[in-house]
Structure formats: structure tokens, C-alpha cells
Amino acid sequence: MSFTAVFFFVAIVGLTLVITWWASKRTSSASDFYTAGGGLTGWQNGMAIAGDYLSAASFLGIAGSIALFGFDGFFFSIGYLVAYLVVLYIVAEPLRNLGRFTLADMITARFDKAKVRGTAALSTITIVLFYMIAQLVGAGALIQLLLGIEYWMAVLLVGVMMTIYVLFGGMTATSWVQIIKAALLMLGTVIISFLVLAKFDFSIAQMFTQMTTETEHGAAYLNPGLRYTDGIDTISMLMALVLGTAGLPHILMRFFTVKDAQTARSSVIWATWIVGLFYVLTIFLGFGAAAFVGADKIIEANPAGNMAAPLLAQALGGDILFSFVCAVAFATILAVVAGLVLSGASALSHDIYGQIIKKGKVTEKEAVKAARIGSIIISVVSILLALGAQTLNVAFLVSLAFCIAASANLPVIIYTIYWKRFNTSGAVTAMLTGLISALILVAVSPNVWNPVEGKAIFVGEPLIMLTNPALISVPLGFLGGFIGTLISKERNDLKYREVEVKAQTGISVQDISH
């Protein structure tokens, strides 16, 4: 490990710790802890959403995937971006208008039942843990590679850092870690893309032409079909991406950190531009890596292609750019896992402990204490699981998290806001059907079963061929909610009127002038 690398890592760790120290002095209430007091501006929250969202899988995974598979690698970029429209058009504003800290807050705006809250918390914690294990295992492997330390040390390093941010600085510190990370990530990506484009004489047409001969795939490199050969599976995966984002707990939580629907809107616009520009640039990262590093060297460093972007940085900018990009990747992981800890802790401490066990009768001091204890529990559990999951191929955990979010959370969000007849029984069955069907379908999928030893967790024939079951489990989630609603006689039109008025107009007690 070089001096430059150490310098960049120490700078990032130092900077984030200073922010945490500063934020800790501003974190005294539960609202400060979970939502930074609702005081973020549009661009700040937009940057933070981007920072929360552009995970190592986006930065390292997509660049590697494009480098190795051409257009098929770019599919993810498209799905992740268009997903923002679902968030903006369907979810963001009603959520902001109805919620306080969590998804469960929003659903219980209509159904005041511990069962609903408990089920929502369960699906949130499941998604958070799956997503987190994937992030931490990826982080462990990456930092092991970059710093040359043992896997368990790498996981502990990331785990301890994320716990510190959340524990002391709450959402304020977490948001600023995400903002800084988003800025660094964009800077790094723009620099590398510029250098790549320069190598192609600043001509995109020339770049594409040259790419038809740079890889072993020839002209097929520029067309789909190199990686995803099963059409139905590709459709299912893209469906999970576009619908899952709107149900991801850590993304939903980011809409409580702004003061009103207007700011929520402006933050999604910011996020859409930043995330969109980033995903456009993944083409340059991927093509550049394929042309100037080469598939053999990329696979040699990491079979999944995760080292493509850092190796490209090294090829174009030497040790300094390599060290910088590695440090950015590290910051990326820190920002994402900190956001995940917070959303898991909010479900555990606010929903399960505060609202269900204590029935909302907690003082401000107790609520903050519970939030901190919840963060520690989520951190410790995920670190332990990540330490045990080292040898697991975890790529599917991310797609599973998206699939559960799309199948369990999205139907209940949509029904809560738009369907008058929806009731408690429907809310619980929607979430449980989506959650359980996604889990079972993945458990019998090719991710878990493969006839060839070492290709999956177990040896054997998978029962379904879909690697991502969204195509089946999302309709099941909607159907479950529909049937669950109809088998119960309960309906409360009056309560729906209130939810409808609040969601549509954002009206609150403060808006009434007298």
C-alpha cells in the first residue's frame, strides 16, 4: 500500500469523523436522529439520496459489468435511473405528507394497528439486512484487496465506522457523509471519463467503432445478449429494479429529512440529474476498462469485474488516481451502509420498541436512547452475518432486496394512498405475501440451486429458472393485498378521506391559519 493511498483513506476517515463530531452536537431529539430534524435543503437531500443510492454495486459492479459484457452491463444503469420516476410520480410526496420517520408511519396513518406496523418493520429489517450483508461482504473483499488487510479486519473497519456515524451523528452525520461521497464519486467518475474520452480523440462515434474490435466479442459487444440470454429473466430483473427502488426503506426514509413536499420534489430532481449523469458515465468507465485494462486483467483481479474502475484509474492516472478512486469506493460503501443502519434502526427502535412495545409512550430522551441501541443491534447483527457470509456469492442478495421491496412494500404503499376499500387485513396480507413469496421463490431459484458444484449454495436442480422472481412475486403482492382486503369486512371511509386529503394537499394543522 502506498503513501498516497494511506493519505486519501485517512483524509476521508478524518473528514467524516469531524462531521460526526459536529453533527453529534445537533442531535438531541428523535427527529434529529432519524431525519436530521427535517432540515435538509433540496440539493442537500438530493445529493444525499444519490450518495445513499449509488452503492459500490453501482460504481464498481456496473463498470465491471459493462467492461466484460458491453451493453448487457448497462441494463442496470437504465433500470436504476428510470426507477426515480416511480419514486417521484407515485411515492415521494404522499409519503412526505403522511409519514414521520418510517414506512410503517405512513401505513398506520390509515390503519392504527400494531399488526400492520410490525409487519412493515419486519419487511424493512429483512430488506436492510440482505442489502447490508451484500454491501459489507463486498466491502470486505474490496478493502482486503486495496489495503492488503484480512477480510475480517476489513469488515470490522467498515462496520465500526458506520456505527460511529449513526450512533453519534444520526441522520445529520449520515447525510453529510452521503453528500461528500456523492461529490467525490462524481469528481472521480468525471475525471476518469474525461481521460477515457481523450484517448478516443473526444469522439463518441470513434469510441463505439473502436470498441467493436477491442474485445473478444467483436461487434456483438455493443449489443445485448452477452450476459442475459433468458428473455423472461431479463424482464423480471428489470422489473425488480424499476419497482423495487420505490420500496427501499433507506430511500423512503430520505423523504422525511426535508420540510415539505416541495423540497422533497426538488431533492428528487437533484438526485435524478446526479444519478443520471453518473450512469451515463458508467459507459466510459466500462468501455475504458475493456479497452485500456483488458478483460483478462480485470477477471484476474476479481472474477466479478469489481476492480475494473480502480484498474482503469491506475492505467490512466497512475498511483494517485488509483488511490483516489479506491478511497472513493471506500467512502461509497461507508455512506451506503450508514444509511442502511439508520433505516433498520428506525424500524427496530421507532416501530417495534417505541410504537408497539411502548405504545408510543416514550419520552424524547428514551426515544433517542432506543434509536442508538437499535443502531448498535442492527450494526452488530449485520457485521456478524457478513463475517459468516464471506464465501457466499452475494450479488443475488442485492437483487433479492430489490425484489422484496417491490413485492412487499410497493403494493401496500400504493393501496394505502390510492385505494379506498383497502384495510388492515389487506395491508398485512399484501406485505406478507410479497415478502414470503419473494423469499421462497429465491430459495428455489438458480441463485441457490445449481447442478454444478460451487456455482450456487446447494447442488441440485432449481425449481424455477428465474434468478429474480419479481415477475411472479410483485403480482402476488398486489393480489395478496386485494384478496386480504376483500375477505375482511372492515372498511373505514372516513379515515381514507383524511389520508386522501393529507396526501393530495399536504395539509397539516400548521396550514390552518386560525
Partner 1 sequence: MGNNQKPIIDYERIASQQSFRQLAKKKNSFLWSVTAIFLVLYMLLPILTSFTEILHQKAIGDITWVWLYSAGLFVMTWGLAHFYVARANKYDAEAKAIIAEYEGGRKL
Question: Which stretches of the chain bind partner 1, using CB under 8 A?
Answer: 71, 74-75, 78-79, 81-82, 84-86, 88-90, 93, 204-205, 208-209, 211-212, 219, 222-225, 228, 230-232, 234-235, 238-239, 242, 261-262, 265-266, 268-269, 272-273, 276, 279-280, 418, 494, 497-498, 500-502, 504-507, 509, 511-514
Whose Cβ is closer to partner 1: residue 40's or residue 283's?
A: 283
Angle at 401 between CA 396 and CA 406, to 5 degrees: 125
* Shortest distance in whole angstroms from residue 237 CB to partner 1: 8
Q: To which residue does cell 462531521 refer?
A: 19
- Alpha-carbon gap, residue 163 to 494, rounded angstroms: 43
CA 438 to chain centre: 18
For cell 470490522, the residue is 156
Q: Which residues contact 280 (CB under 8 A, 6 or more apart)?
A: 77
Which is nearer to partner 1, 238 or 342 (by Cβ)?
238
- Cβ proximity to partner 1: between 359 and 514 the closer is 514
Q: Which helix (H) or strand (E) holds 194?
A: helix 170-199
Residue 70 three-state SS: coil
Q: Name the percent of the chain in helix, strand, coil, to the closest 5.
A: 80, 0, 20
Min separation Cβ 495 and partner 1, Å: 9
Q: How far is the CB of 194 from partner 1 (least distance, A)?
A: 19
Q: Give CA–CA dist 18/284, Å, rounded.
A: 34
Which H helix or E strand runs over 449? strand 449-450
The minimum distance between CB 421 and partner 1, in angstroms, equals 16
Outline where 113-150 has alpha helix (H): 114-147
Query: By C-beta, is 260 or 300 nearer to partner 1?
Result: 260
**Residue 197 CB, nearest distance to partner 1 (Å)?**
15
Closest to partner 1 by CB, 15 vs 88, is 88
Cell numbers for 337 = 451502509
Q: Is 165 left (phi over 0), alpha (psi -120 to 50) or beta?
A: alpha
Closer to partner 1 by Cβ: residue 296 or 511: 511
AA letter at 182: A
The least distance separating partner 1 from the CB of residue 297, rounded to whole angstroms, comes to 25
Q: State the minimum distance, in angstroms, from the CB of residue 63 to partner 1.
A: 16
- The 10 Å Cβ neighbour count of residue 80 is 25
Tell me whether residue 297 or residue 420 sits nearer to partner 1 (CB atom).
420
CB of 265 to partner 1, least distance (A): 5
How many whole angstroms separate alpha carbon 74 and alpha carbon 89? 24
In the complex with partner 1, the residue whose CB is nearer, 224 or 317, is 224
